[in-house]
Amino acid sequence: DADIVVYVGCGERGNEMTDVLMEFPKLKDPRSDEPLMRRSVLIANTSNMPVAAREASVYTGITIAEYFRDMGYTVALMADSTSRWAEAMREISTRLEEMPAEEGYPAYLAARIAAFYERAGRVECRGNPSREGTLSIIGSVSPPGGDLSDSVVQATLHVVKVFWSLQGRLAYQRHFPAIDWLTSYSFYKEYLKDCFEDKDQGQEMQELTVQAMSLLEQEAELLEIVRLVGAEALSPADRLTLETARSIREDFLHQNAFHEVDT
C-alpha cells in the first residue's frame, strides 16, 4: 500500500533489467488503474557497469526514497541485491589496499549495512504543512549456494527485524511462496494483537500461531525419522502430527498465484 515504490537493481543482469524497464511501463496499478510508473522510481545498475556505480546505486535509491518520505509519502524501497552491493564494496576496498576482514570484505561491511537499513522508519517532518512520512526498506540477499553463514547474511540478520528465507527445495516442490518457515522470523509478531479490535481475538491468534509453529517444528524432526526408518516406525500420535502439519502447510502457507485472495 505504499504511495511511492523505489526499485534499485544493483548489479543485475543486463537482460533482466531490460525486461524490467520494458515491462513496468505496461503494468497497471490495481488501486487506481493508472500506469504503475506514476508512483514508481527505477534505478538500473547492470553487472557490466563500474563497481563504483553499483555502490552508488544503493545510496541513490535510499536518498530518493528519503526525499519522498520527507514530503509526507509512504515509501517502499526495494534493493536487489545487497550481496552484489557488498561485493562492490569488497572490490573497491581491495583497490584501495584496505585491510580485509572475513571473506575479503572490508571491516566496515556490517556498519555500512546497518547504516543503510537504519535509515528506514517513520518521521514527523519539520516545516509547514505538518506531515508524517514513512520509509520501509526491503533488501534481498543472495549468498553463494544459499549459505546463511555468509558474511553479508549475518551482517543483515543482526540489524533487520523481519527475515524471509527463500529455499530452493520448496520451489522444486512447487510450494510458493518458497519461504522457509523454520528459518524465517519477525520481531513484530507481538504487535499484531493490537491490530485487532477484539483484543481477545488478537491474543488467541498469537496462541494459535505458536501452536502451529510448534507443529511445523515437530514435523521437521519426524520427517528426518521417516527418511531413516520409514513412516511405519511412527506412533499414531506422530502420524497425526504429520497430517496436521501438512494441512497447515498446504492450506495456510501454500498460496496460489492465480487465486484472487492469495494474490
Q: For residue 185, give the C-alpha cell.
A: 522470523
pLDDT in tens, 44-59: 999 889 999 999 999 9
Q: Is the pLDDT of residue 263 over 80?
A: no
**129: preceding bond cis by omega (within 30 degrees):** yes
pLDDT at 255: 84
Categorize the per-residue pLDDT at 184 as very low, low, confident or very high, splitting at 50, 70 and 90: very high
pLDDT in tens, 87-120: 999 999 999 999 999 999 999 999 999 999 999 9
Domains and CATH numbers, the chain: 4-160 (3.40.50.300), 195-253 (1.10.1140.10)
Q: What is the pTM of this model?
A: 0.86
What are the start-end ranges of the H helices in 133-262? Answer: 151-157, 168-172, 199-229, 236-248
What are the start-end ranges of the H helices in 96-159? Answer: 109-117, 151-157
Phi, psi of 122 (to 5 degrees): -110, 135
